[in-house]
Amino acid sequence: MYNFIIIFVFLLLGIILQKVKRFPTNSHKGINNIVIYICLPALALYYIPKIEWSNELLYPISMAWIGFIVSYLFFNLLGRRFGWSKKLTGCLIITAGLGNTSFLGFPIIQALYGEEGMKTAILVDQPGSFVVLSTLGILVATLYSTGSPNGFHIAKKILFFPPFIAFLGACVMNVLNFDFHEYIQYFLQKVGSAMTPLAMLSVGLQLRFDKRSQHWKFLGFGLLYKLVLTPALIYLLYVVILDQHSTAMQVVLMEAAMAPMITASILASTHGLKPRLSSMMIGFGIPLSFITLVFWYFIVQFI
Residue 1 inside a domain? The answer is no
Summarised one tens digit per residue, pLDDT across range 260-288 is 998 788 788 878 898 888 878 888 888 89
Residue 7 inside a domain? The answer is no
Residue 210 inside a domain? The answer is yes
Residue 66 inside a domain? The answer is yes
Closest by alpha carbon to 138, among 128, 126, 148?
Answer: 148
Residue 17 inside a domain? The answer is no
Does the model's pTM come out above 0.75? yes
Radius of gyration for the chain, computed over Cα atoms and rounded to the nearest angstrom = 18
**How far is C-alpha 68 from the chain's CA centre?**
12
Residue 10 inside a domain? The answer is no
Largest CA distance in the chain: 58
The Cα angle at residue 254 between residues 250 and 259, in degrees rounded to 5: 175
Q: Are 108 and 293 in contact (CB under 8 A)?
A: yes
Summarised one tens digit per residue, pLDDT across range 133-170 is 877 888 888 889 865 556 676 667 667 777 778 888 98
Residue 9 inside a domain? The answer is no
DSSP 174-197: HHTT----HHHHHHHHHHHHTHHH
Question: Helix, strand, or coil here: 236?
Answer: helix
Which structural domain range is residue 144 located in?
28-300
Summarised one tens digit per residue, pLDDT across range 29-53 is 888 888 888 988 898 898 888 877 7
Q: Which position has the higher pLDDT, 117 or 47? A: 117
Q: Are 68 and 97 in contact (CB under 8 A)?
A: yes
Domain of residue 153, CATH code: 1.20.1530.20
**Total number of domains constituting the chain:** 1
Residue 11 inside a domain? The answer is no
